[in-house]
Structure 1
Amino acid sequence: MWNYIGVAAWLLVVLYLIFIIWHIRARHLKMVVRGQKPGLTWLIDLIECGVLVLAVYSLVWAAWLRPIDYADSKVVAVKYDYHPLILQTGATRSYYVSVQSGNGTQPVRYFTYWTAGAKNQTNSRDADISDGTDPLTVKASVYPWHHSKLIKLDTAAEKAYVATMTAHYRKTFLNGLGMHVGHLAERFDLIRIPNETFLKVVPKQVE
């Protein structure tokens, strides 16, 4: 129901657009019939159009441009999941994660890792691999994490686990205006491995 705030707002903008088209046309026809000079008519036109542009920009900002603070519990509900990685036996060595570069102009890498009973795939936009002393990477640090929990998992899971953060939009006016309530705001996988020797790189094929 909260998302109907956004639906109603867009409907009002469409109705206002129809109104100003009619209003501008009627005003200009009346001016022509009466043989009046433009006077303040053009200023009124600009004001009405300016209000329309401002309203549209506000809705676009709420839906697509508004920055989200994932540490703000009033805006998003954040959930964490932790799963041990399953070691894969290769022809030459064992590994936890395989990495393959994507085709095209965007430097995207695709990660594949295994947890209990599941094969998982993600990409470098929504995940990062941690193989350093600290489990938290620079890229992952932009999201809120329980750092102490990650430190404990380093010992309990022998630095072989995936920590997944998912954030969903809460029921707020701005989230409703952007029609985001209940939708996924962000998902990020922090893939922890002991060191880079447990990473299998799949070479990109050259045509």
Structure 2
Amino acid sequence: MNSWNFVGIIAWIIVIALLIFVVFNIRNRHLKILVQKKTKITWTTILVDFLEILVVILMVSGLLYTSLFTKVDLTDKNDVNVTYKYDPMIIQTTDDGQGYYVKIDKKESSSSTDVYQYWLNNSKYTISSRNATISDATLPFTVSGLRLDWPMKKINKYDSKYQYAYVITVHAKYKNNFINGLGLKANRFAMEYRVLRVPARSFINVGK
């Protein structure tokens, strides 16, 4: 485990210890009032109970939010490290001799997502449209739904080198810092996304 993630582990230990302390503190104060002093529990006691419980709830909520509910910001260079990989695709042919780079497998697709198939180094890869998109080189380079600073100089370079037929694989990993450590995410995988670059829509085979 990355050493920065011990920040989150220590934070959870503190919160659990505080929760145990609050439970016993409330119990002891109530017993002292009812048994030793033999008086009724006042609104002041209830207010103190509420404040102690509120502090624990806020701390637990904060840790849960940091660990589970924060969305990765791919443009925040202080939060994540984003790398790009470029792999040329291998052309395939249909039974009638039509060449294609990407096949949309309709048998595996659903109403909301498509399943893409493509080939690298004589191996077939399959990916859902939730984690990939097809980019037609006849159109301006855009990727909807993914906020990212695309390295257009390199993309233009590989457009020329691979004749617009390649895969851009985006890897994002959480950096080693206090906030990521608090969320137990330091140095962990954040996201992977692929852009299947094709020369034109005619190089996409829509399966049946």
Q: TM-score, normalised by structure 2?
A: 0.89
Which 4+ stretches in 1 moved above 6 angstroms?
A: none
Contact 1:5-1:173 at 8 Å conserved across structures: yes
Distance 1:128 1:103, change over 3 A: closer
Could you tell me which of 176, 187, 195 is aligned with 1:182?
187
Contact 2:34-2:41 at 8 Å conserved across structures: no
Q: Which residue of 2 aligns with 1:52?
A: 56
Alignment of 1:102-141 (within 5 A): 102=108, 107-131=112-136, 132-140=138-146
Alignment of 1:16-165 (within 5 A): 16-33=18-35, 34-39=37-42, 40-92=44-96, 93-101=98-106, 102=108, 107-131=112-136, 132-140=138-146, 142-165=147-170
Q: Which residue of 1 aligns with 2:6?
A: 4
Distance in 1 of aligned mates of 2:203 and 2:159: 15
Query: Which is further off, 106-115 or 180-189?
Result: 106-115
**1:75-122 alpha-carbon deviations (Å, 9 max, x no partner):** 111111001111012213221111235566x71222111112432222
Could you tell me which of 166, 169, 174 is aligned with 1:169?
174
Distance in 1 of aligned mates of 2:142 and 2:157: 13
Unmatched 5+ residue regions in structure 1?
Answer: none
User: How far did 1:69 drift?
Assistant: 2.1
Contact 1:130-1:192 at 8 Å conserved across structures: yes
Identity between Structure 1 and Structure 2 (%): 33
Distance in 2 of aligned mates of 1:189 and 1:55: 37
Query: Which is further off, 166-175 or 120-129?
Result: 120-129
How many residue pairs get aligned? The number is 201
- Aligned-partner SS, 2:105: strand
* AA in 2 matched with 1:11: I
- Aligned-partner SS, 2:32: helix
Contact 1:76-1:167 at 8 Å conserved across structures: yes
Distance in 1 of aligned mates of 2:95 and 2:122: 22
Q: TM-score, normalised by structure 1?
A: 0.89
Distance in 2 of aligned mates of 1:179 and 1:118: 35
- Aligned-partner SS, 1:138: coil
